[in-house]
Chains A and B, each alone.
Chain A
Amino acid sequence: MDKSVELILEYARELTKQNVVGKGDCISVKSGEYMYASDKEVALDALTEKDVLKIKLEEAEGEYALHAALYTQKEDVLAVCHCHPKWVKPIADCEVDIPAVTDDMTQIVGRNCKTSKNDIDSIVFNLAHRNSTLIKGDGCVTTGRTLNEAYTCVLVLDKAAHCFVASAVLKKNVLISDFEAILMNTIYKMKYSKKNQENLQNEEGNK
């Protein structure tokens, strides 16, 4: 089995295990002028080898055109997860942004996570300096230098969303300052995760 296909199947299982999947999920990895993507009509928990599609980036349509746009417009993007985690949904539906509520979110996602309109231009725009965005009425999209990184973003985002939603019955979230959030995000990207991502890129074979 092709390594990229194996990867897609592995992370489809992991996302299912973490309970952050929903209808219309689609995950992909870039491979030169192509991408390997899960068939968006097939639930990730039911995905098999035959449901992983090899698509030429310039010929991608529909859901896959979004993935292709991210691969062609952002050089450092080598993997994409479009998922529908439970706690993200009410926030995306209301079209509000997730502010800097937790350290791990600011490190891995950034100082906030914007909600995009449900069109490719808006999503690509909001991912220009970030690796995650919510989509109005349609879950979230995360990107990574590896599929592991994009997968981790989904988990962190769902947890931050959980904290943000739960605060509706607690007190208001006390937000991390912009300065501290940007500092943490920069340190994470430049130092903490760099070596780890290089190792993972070698393992995933998509460097």
Chain B
Amino acid sequence: MWDKNTEQELRQLVKDTGVQLLEENLVQGTWGNISVRLDEDHMLVSPTGLDYNHLEPEDMPIVQISDPSVWSDGKKPTSERKIHAAVLASRPEINACIHSHPVFATAMASCHMPLPAFSDELKEVMNGDVIVGSYGLPGTKKLKEGTVEAMKGRNACFMANHGVFCVGETMEEAFNVLRVLEKNVYEYIKMQTLEKTGAKEYSDELLFKVFTIKANKFLKKSN
């Protein structure tokens, strides 16, 4: 059991993390969700479909980890709570999870492409390559199982055609995992663009050029 003061602090932490996600453009609108462990069998999660800026700490529901259909207090919990519960249940050392849709990482996820641990920062923060969980419709068992499998021994994974899942012993750590992942995917895309074009300096316009060549060669024919 936890004390009320701790619960209140964690409620505020979920709210602040959501606002921070928006401020750093690591999520858009009401998407993504956050959880933090209260005890072995309970977690606080963000509610479904609400803008983090308009959330109040008391809006966060308490969800049972062993049976996430059971919840109390707060507003209706995120439909992805089963993934948070399954990850927290399988990883006792983890206390915080963030599911988000940052743009560069989502691009990798839409290609079902793992991110090799090409930098020291990635090796240190991610515990190896970041792999892709198998595709499943939102809220389904398939998506939950794919995510749990891809998270085994890792601090982050891509969710196919969807986004990313990041964890940490603390919320600060989970947020750092997310930040490092997005930054390194961006670096990876830059590296690939330079490699493909032979240019010395990256710009988004350079990436547009590569896209335009590919689109004119292949994509127009399929439309």
Binding site for B on A (CB under 8 A): 18, 86, 89-91, 93-97, 100-104, 107, 115, 152, 155-156, 159, 162-174, 176, 180, 183-184, 192, 196
Task: Say yes or no: B162 contacts A103, CB within 8 Å.
Answer: yes
6 A–B pairs (Cβ distance < 8 Å), ordered by A? A103-B138, A103-B162, A167-B110, A169-B192, A173-B110, A174-B110
B109, chain A: closest CB distance, angstroms: 8
Task: Say yes or no: B104 contacts A166, CB within 8 Å.
Answer: yes
10 closest cross-chain pairs (CB), A and B? A166-B107, A94-B215, A169-B192, A168-B211, A90-B208, A163-B107, A101-B110, A171-B111, A163-B110, A96-B219
Task: Say yes or no: B111 contacts A172, CB within 8 Å.
Answer: yes
Query: What does the 1/0 interface line of B100-113 toward A look like (CB < 8 Å)?
Result: 01011011111111
Known A86-B204, A196-B49: A168·B107 in contact at CB below 8 Å: no
Task: Say yes or no: B223 contacts A102, CB within 8 Å.
Answer: no
A38, chain B: closest CB distance, angstroms: 21
A77, chain B: closest CB distance, angstroms: 20
Known A96-B219, A169-B189, A170-B113: A192·B162 in contact at CB below 8 Å: no
Known A104-B31, A196-B49: A166·B189 in contact at CB below 8 Å: yes
**Residues of B in contact, count (CB < 8 Å):** 38
B219 to chain A: which residues have CB within 8 Å?
94, 96
Main secondary structure of the interface of B (DSSP, over half): helix
Known A86-B204, A171-B112, A192-B49: A96·B193 in contact at CB below 8 Å: no
A115 to chain B: which residues have CB within 8 Å?
223
Task: Say yes or no: A173 contacts B111, CB within 8 Å.
Answer: yes
Q: How far is the CA of A174 from the CA of B189 in the complex (A)?
A: 17
Query: What does the 1/0 interface line of B200-214 toward A look like (CB < 8 Å)?
Result: 000010011011111
Q: How far is the CA of A94 from the CA of B213 in the complex (A)?
A: 9
B216 to chain A: which residues have CB within 8 Å?
94
Q: How far is the CA of A159 from the CA of B189 in the complex (A)?
A: 15
Asked whether B4 is an interface residue with its Cβ less than 8 Å from the other chain, the reply is no
